Chain A
Amino acid sequence: MLKSMDKYVAAAALSAKNYLAYVSEMIFRSGFLVVILFVFVNLWTVTYSRAGAEIIAGFDLRKMLWYLVFTESIVISRPRVHLKVEEDIRTGAVSYTLARPYNYLLFQLSVSFGERMVRFISTLIVGYAVMTVMVGPYFPDLSILPFLTVTVALAMMADLIGMITIGFLAFWVEDVSPFFLVYSRLQMLLGGMIVPITLFPHFLRKLSEWLPFRFMVYAPAKLFVNCDIYQALSLMAEQIILCVLLFLIGMSVYRMGVKRLDVNGG
């Protein structure tokens, strides 16, 4: 089992290595992240000050801002794997992969995961630098770092499997971007990217708790600012179940799609 996973690990490592070549370019093109963090610092500083509250939705001001650095880094680092899958299906390239000794979903997951890790780390470095200048440095508890790393990796995997599954819809429709748009926007709000879900009114919070998005964004970011090992362990268990569930859904969609694959010419 472990041996059969070697090729996926190698694909992820190769993808990460390829993407390392673009790190400096990506850091210099992080203008949007700088702007959005600047706006968030202003918004929440004024909000905490005018509300006269030390803690809002379970976060003090510094934690709220560092939480947002983390959520932005997770979401901005997302590669466009759904478009790659869509292109493979639309051009018929997916048919060549049928004979290859790998699982297409796992292969796309490995490649996109390698790329995303590099993008995430470089985005986080920029975000960390910007926030350090604005509000001072933040040092998470070192003991939480291994758990945080695993949690972030699982969050990204769950998200990427979701995106690849959306890409598989190209077996039925010409353009999958509307589906991704709904997915990404729901993740943005109900996943807790722009605001922690604990700030939501009751019904929105319930909705968020029923959907998988909070495991992809809110939960790892909360762990970053609230270092709690027991919380990390239960989160990891929930994320593993989510990844397996999403993988099974993704594979079902893929198998249904491949059955109706019809490639002309060559």
Chain B
Amino acid sequence: MGLFLGYLYINAKGLLEYKVSSLIALFGSLLNSAIWLVFWWVFFKRFPNISEWQFVHLFTIWAVLNVALALVSVFYNVYKLPAIINEGKLEYYLVRPKNALFHLLVARMQLIDLLEAAIWFISFIILKPELPAILLFLLMSVISAAIIHGFLLILGSLGFFLKSADGIGTELYNALITFSTYPNWIFQGAAKWIIFTVIPAGFISYVPVQVIYNRAYLWILGSLGFGILLNVIGCVIFSRGLKYFETGNTFVLRVD
């Protein structure tokens, strides 16, 4: 916990140092989401009876996804895992008397994303000012964050075994995020299974809507279990990878 708080303090100081570029990144992310939400607003205005979903449901999956991504950003190095492994930056964490995986995950945080999460959270409260819905929203955001984190941890840990893990991981992560921003009912046949297995976007889009709007509480357990499973698998692959790992003689200057 001390390690986490220490890095939280350092990263918060870094955020204040580069506040303009952080705010620009925040603005960009919000603008991108806003454009897509306008698209969905147009879509549901044109096809109001296309499904039982309405614009509010789409807004909810975007809000859950963005809050979840902000929470994952607290462990920002999970995105950089293949690069850390392949570019000789892992050794720094291995020689410290701390859990190497936890240490490297918390070493870099993108805290500006938490401000974005707050904006999405407040927007959701305005949209649906009901306490149970707000609490379920928070719960599903945390579970979605666990799923995304576990997914990234598995893909990143493959960097121990595959040189191309970075490229494959990026493609699969992009697929996860893209699928997560569309309603599940557009997917037919095999795609319906894919979004609940290989690319678990269904847990980030369909499940939160079911839980928040239809009170399908059983899905909470399913989602939570899947999130835990992904993270456990990720940790196992990482520890297996560490045994397989051979250090090089690359000289790396660490300035953060």
Q: Report if A and B associate in a common complex.
A: yes
Count B interface residues, CB 8 Å: 30
Measured CB to CB, the closest approach of chain B to A37, in angstroms, equals 11
Q: Are B42 and A199 in contact (CB under 8 A)?
A: yes
Which of chain B's residues have a CB closer than 8 A to the CB of A181? 27-28, 31-32
B217 within 8 A of A: no
Chain A: CB-nearest residue to B199:
A35
Which residues of chain A (187-214) have a CB below 8 Å from chain B?
188-189, 194-195, 199-201, 204
B256 within 8 A of A: no
A152 to B186, CA, bound (A): 31
Interface string of B47-73 (1 = CB under 8 A from A): 100110000000000000000000000
Measured CB to CB, the closest approach of chain A to B249, in angstroms, equals 29
- Contact with A177, one of B24, B50, B188 (Cβ below 8 angstroms): B24
A233 within 8 A of B: no
Measured CB to CB, the closest approach of chain A to B60, in angstroms, equals 18
A189 to B24, CA, bound (A): 20
Once A42-B187, A51-B47, A200-B42 are accepted as A-B contacts, the answer to whether A178 and B27 lie under 8 Å apart by CB is yes
Which of chain B's residues have a CB closer than 8 A to the CB of A38? 191
A149 within 8 A of B: no
Which residues of chain B (155-191) have a CB below 8 Å from chain A?
167, 171, 174-175, 178-179, 182, 185-188, 191
Q: Are B47 and A194 in contact (CB under 8 A)?
A: no
SS class, residues of chain A in contact with chain B: helix
- Contact with B31, one of A46, A185, A199 (Cβ below 8 angstroms): A185
Which residues of chain B (7-31) have a CB below 8 Å from chain A?
21, 24, 27-28, 31
Which of chain A's residues have a CB closer than 8 A to the CB of B43? 47, 195
Measured CB to CB, the closest approach of chain B to A52, in angstroms, equals 10
Measured CB to CB, the closest approach of chain B to A187, in angstroms, equals 10
Which of chain A's residues have a CB closer than 8 A to the CB of B27? 178, 181
Please provide the 7 A-B residue pairs with the shortest distance between their CB atoms, ordered closest to farther: A31-B171, A42-B186, A43-B186, A35-B175, A181-B28, A185-B35, A46-B186
6 cross-chain CB contacts under 8 A: A39-B182, A39-B186, A45-B188, A46-B185, A201-B45, A204-B42
Q: Which residues of A contact B (CB under 8 A)?
A: 29, 31-32, 35-36, 38-39, 42-43, 45-47, 50-51, 56, 175, 177-178, 181-182, 185-186, 188-189, 194-195, 199-201, 204
